[in-house]
A and B are shown apart, each in its own frame.
Chain A
Amino acid sequence: MFTQVKYYQPYNSPNDPCPPVRVKSYQTPPQLYIGFQPPNLQQFSPKQALYCGTLWPAFYSPYPDPDGRNDDK
């Protein structure tokens, strides 16, 4: 299973003027991984689809990441 958020540790110098953010994140949403949409994907209920902006959970990309973490937390 892919993740929609990746984390990396940027270089921090001991001489940086501000307190360092040790871990930064970036988004890798689902359309990067799927290519042509396969047929018969699982669907949201119509009401949930309206709420999410897509009929298919495979393409749903919540932001901010609900069970993820923010940078440096």
Chain B
Amino acid sequence: MWYYEKKLQYPVRVGSCNPQLAKYLIEQYGGADGELSAALRYLNQRYTIPDKVVGLLTDIGTEEFAHLEMIATMVYKLTKDATPEQMKAAGLGAHYANHEHALYYENAAGSAWTATYIAAKGDPIADLYEDIAAEEKARATYQWIINLSDDPDLNDGLKYLREREIIHSQRFREAVEILKEERDRQIFF
């Protein structure tokens, strides 16, 4: 089970009224390499991976939900007071027609989130390599969004999230090393 702490993992500040940034940020909310995909991918893989790395998947999967919450806060701040005209000008007219100011799990191009974004192969090495690739793709996505954004306050939060992807990738690489070790061999032979 989970306990909820009613605060963000890292403070989110948005400096300027720029609803168009929300359209780009939604990629990390409901996109293939976004935080929802990450959280669900890792938490789901826990059941069929050796016990030694289950805790890591739980920890990182949980942190991804904290990141999802930060992205949601950014998107909400950028769109909550936007007029229909501003939403239209930001490329969010179609989103407004369906969802008004509600958030939705979709990517920057408006495609709804799908479970086909995540993999669960059941082979521990294949799954961890998938996770490493996912972290690098999430890191790259943050880079491209930072490049599109000229809001230093928002970028501060995005740079924090980009750094967390680097640490997650490092931990998954360490998990591969653990699974490659010959530990416990004599117990079974």
Which A residues are within 8 Å of any B CB, using their own CB?
2-3, 6-11, 23-24, 26-29, 32-33
Contacts and interface: CB of A to CB of B under 8 A. Distances in A.
Contacts of B125: 26-29, 32
Contacts, number: 36
Contacts of A32: 125, 176, 180
Contact of B179 (A9, A11, A28): A28
Contacts of A11: 51
B85 interface: no
Interface stretch (B31-39, B71-79, B159-167, B181-189): B181-189
- Residues of B in contact with A, size category: 10 to 19
18 contacts: A3-B182, A6-B50, A6-B179, A6-B182, A6-B185, A7-B188, A8-B52, A8-B184, A9-B51, A23-B188, A24-B50, A26-B50, A26-B179, A27-B123, A28-B179, A28-B180, A29-B125, A32-B180
Contacts of A3: 182, 185
B124 interface: yes
Q: Provide the main secondary structure of the chain B interface.
A: helix
A13 B12 CA distance: 43
B123 A26 contact: yes
A26 B125 CA distance: 8
A25 B179 CA distance: 11
Nearest to A68: B189
Question: Would you list the 3 A-B pairs with minimal beta carbon distance, nearest first?
Answer: A8-B50, A7-B188, A26-B124
